[in-house]
Amino acid sequence: MDNKIYHRILIIGGGAAGLSVAAQLLRVGCKGVGIIEPSDKHYYQPAWTLVGGGIINREKSERQMAGLIPAGAAWIRDAVSEFDPAANRLKTRDGKEINYDYLIVAPGLQIDWHKIKGLPEVLGKDGVCSNYSYDTVESTWENIRNFKGGNAVFNFPLPPIKCAGAPQKIMYLAEDYFRKRKIRDKSKVVYYCATPTIFEAPKYAQALTEQVIKPRNIEVHFKHDLFEIRAASREVLVRNLDTGEIIVQPYDMLHVVPPMSAPDFVKQSPLANQAGWVDVSKETLQHVRYPNVFSIGDASSLPTSKTAAAVRAQSPVLVANLLSVLRGQQAAAHYRGYTSCPLVTGYGKLILAEFDYTLTPRETFPFDQSKERYSMYFLKRHIMPLMYWDGLLKGCQWPKLE
């Protein structure tokens, strides 16, 4: 078997970032595009908040990868294991060597379930659930639905994580559901948040505090990091990051979000920065040491909130800059850090956060998006999935939410 393969443009990852870049490149007539992707399924992860809240079935978030790889791209069904960017070459898990002229690195991030002691053993059962994987997302709704009162505990780990709003969105849905079921008065809803504020961009942090957390009596502990689960006694251990004090918190249901990091094979490669992420210019998305390498999405070092919405703003910049480099020109298009987070605050309510690197709001609509609205919930529930499947993944430039 010939284990040596060549692609002029090689894309790592058939996720939101990889597929959208591939589709855009093919639309402008690029040839020799290959995508390395090990999974036969693609997941629309933003739907998992709604799955966990019992609003849609998890199957709605899953499609066959084969149907999404754009026509004209070669799918290499394998996983990258090692980079050799000085030689424009990489190795795969199955022992292939692949050469390229240009490389786009978009394998997403890795969820470090093991970094919370006791979590891998109990995940998805005995009151412990998480929206952060297809395999466990149904356990969230099961827990919310069957909650009879007591302590409902949620956490936000030390960042960066993907979709920094997701850990609190599911808490707001749960709290709303407990009200609807008339068990809110015998329930305590507690959020252990490793960061000092509820949300990065101040405008939305204030809105969440005033419109949601205070009036709905949600107990929030900032700079508190959940690090251990004791399933036998149904308790979690949480560290106060200022004082080091350890709190023992009993739970009746626990929605857990573990720390996340760059995939190990990226961390260990010459492409990584000190923190392990693919080391690219935050404006041009071009690698700082290897000019024929680009990265966007969750695996990249871009200092913005890691979302599919950010990918939507990043991918046309990457494509424009790659085309410039192919023509022998400088990468001149700039990404300003646009990201968005549809903060579901209850059944039928949503605050649509949109902001840039400076945390300045970059709102799409001609009204104040920091107010809870049904129209924005409708957008998340019914329109955004279409924008994802039929817009982003097909390389279409929809009117940008920017």
Q: Counting contacts by CB under 6 A, is residue 90 touching ligand FAD? A: no
Virtual torsion, Cα 300, 305, 310, 316, nearest 10 deg: -40
Quick one: 94 or 245, whose CB is closer to ligand FAD? 94
CA 315 – CA 137 distance, rounded (Å): 28
Q: Which of 154, 227, 265, 335 binds ligand FAD (CB under 6 A)?
A: 265
Q: Tell whether residue 37 is a contact of ligand FAD (CB under 6 A).
A: yes
Choice among 30, 129, 163, 193 that is catalytic: 163
Q: Which residue of 7, 9, 10, 12 would you call a contact of ligand FAD, by CB under 6 A?
A: 12
Helical segments of 257-307, H only: 264-267
Amino acid at 361: P
State yes or no: residue 45 binds ligand FAD (CB under 6 A): yes
Do 183 and 149 contact (CB within 8 A), yes or no? yes
Query: Is 30 labeled as catalytic in the residue annotation?
Result: no
Counting contacts by CB under 6 A, is residue 53 touching ligand FAD?
Answer: no
Report whether 119 contacts 229 (CB < 8 A). Answer: yes
Residue 107 binds ligand FAD, judged by CB under 6 A:
yes
Residue 381 binds ligand FAD, judged by CB under 6 A? no
Nearer to ligand FAD, 14 or 346 (CB): 14
| Least Å from the CB of residue 242 to ligand FAD | 28
Strands 224-230, 253-255: pairing kind: unpaired
Is 50 one of the binding residues for ligand FAD (CB under 6 A)?
Answer: no
Residue type, 262: A
Asked whether the CA dihedral 241, 205, 284, 385 is positive or negative, the reply is positive
Question: Could you tell me how many residues of this chain bind ligand FAD (CB under 6 A)?
Answer: 36
Contact with ligand FAD (CB under 6 A): which of 49, 168, 301, 369? 49
The span of 104-112, 152-160, 278-286, 351-359 binding ligand FAD (CB under 6 A) equals: 104-112
Over the window 145 to 184, marking each residue x when it contacts ligand FAD by CB under 6 A and - when it does not, the resulting string is -----------------xx--x------------------
Q: Which is nearer to ligand FAD, 54 or 150 (CB)?
A: 54
What residues does 132 pair with on adjacent strands? Answer: none
x-or-dash string of contact with ligand FAD, 331-370, rule CB under 6 A: -----------x----------------------------
Instruction: Specify whether 163 is catalytic.
Output: yes
In the list 144, 238, 256, 309, the residue contacting ligand FAD (rule: CB under 6 A) is: 309
**Among candidate residues 238, 298, 291, the one with its CA nearest the CA of residue 263:** 298
The residue count of the chain comes to: 402
Q: 3-state DSSP call for residue 99?
A: strand
Helical spans, DSSP H, in 82-162? 119-122, 137-146
Beta strand 128-129 pairing with 246-250: unpaired
Question: Residues 165, 134: contact at Cβ < 8 Å?
Answer: no
In the block, residue with structure tokens 């998890």 = 58
Residue recorded with tokens 């990468």: 331
The answer to the question of residue 69 lying near ligand FAD (CB under 6 A) is no
Residues 6+ apart with CB under 8 A from 185: none
Place of tokens 């950010």: 310
Give the nearest residue (CB) to ligand FAD: 15
CB count in 10 Å sphere of residue 184: 17
Which helix (DSSP H) or strand (DSSP E) does residue 204 occupy? helix 202-208
Q: Kindly tell me which residue out of 7, 9, 10, 18 binds ligand FAD, with binding defined by CB under 6 A.
A: 18
| Nearer to ligand FAD (CB atom), residue 157 or residue 263 | 263
* Site of interaction with ligand FAD (CB under 6 A): 12-18, 36-39, 45-46, 48-49, 79-80, 106-108, 131-132, 162-163, 166, 263, 265, 297-299, 306-309, 311, 342
- Catalytic residue ranges: 163, 341
